Amino acid sequence: MSLVALAACSNNGIDKNSEFSGAPSSCADSAEVARQEILNFVGDLYSESVSFNSSGEVEGSSSSRRCFAAYTDSESRWDISDADLNNPQQRSVNFYFMINVGDENSLGTRTERTRRVFEQNKPSDSVDCAGIGDDCYIVSETRNGSCTTALKFRTGNLIFQIQLGTSTYERLKPPLGYESSSEASVRAIASAFASNLENLIPM
């Protein structure tokens, strides 16, 4: 696994003294803020019939919302020529919001506790992803037949992650040529969410 990751970044205009009060209730509405960026990533696999699966909960001091959609080519592996095995058979979009909604205590404010959790869980390898949230990092992994790229950022008492996956028809070799484009897509989608947090989440 190659870990790409961490830097202090812009907070996209959010007042540093403001805190979010809970996760969004709708995945479909949330995804609309990055609709074009998601379309750019999914490409020809996009289908109006695919919708985001949603799960959310308030547990202890955390309010969360997870959203997942997978866009799959209807062609089977056996209908694809050897020359096209590296083409994407499936592209997935997975994002979640996690917000600290607990009361201030001896461990600090919601934002202070969220910052501590974010820093404790960040990967050891790091590369700047400047301009997204207060802190951010990217994680990339390539295996035989698939690659995933995830960007996680923190703004105040919110942690957000967007993960993009690509699976090709070739199952015995790693995909070729997808890491850089997936990183560009994950940055674009994360930036769209970061720029619209105040419209998505109550303060």
- Asked if the structure places residue 158 within a domain, the reply is yes
- Asked if the structure places residue 58 within a domain, the reply is yes
Total domains, the chain? 1
104: domain range? 2-74+84-200
- Asked if the structure places residue 20 within a domain, the reply is yes
Report which of 156, 154, 139, 157 is spatially closest to residue 94, judged by C-alpha positions.
Answer: 139
Report which of 139, 135, 148, 202 is spatially closest to residue 175, judged by C-alpha positions.
Answer: 148
- What is the length of the chain? 203
- Asked if the structure places residue 65 within a domain, the reply is yes
Q: How far apart are CA 134 and CA 8, in angstroms?
A: 6
Model pTM score: 0.86
- Asked if the structure places residue 40 within a domain, the reply is yes
- Asked if the structure places residue 79 within a domain, the reply is no
Lowest mean pLDDT among 31-40, 47-56, 119-128: 119-128
- Residue range 69-95, pLDDT digits in tens: 999 997 766 677 887 888 899 999 999
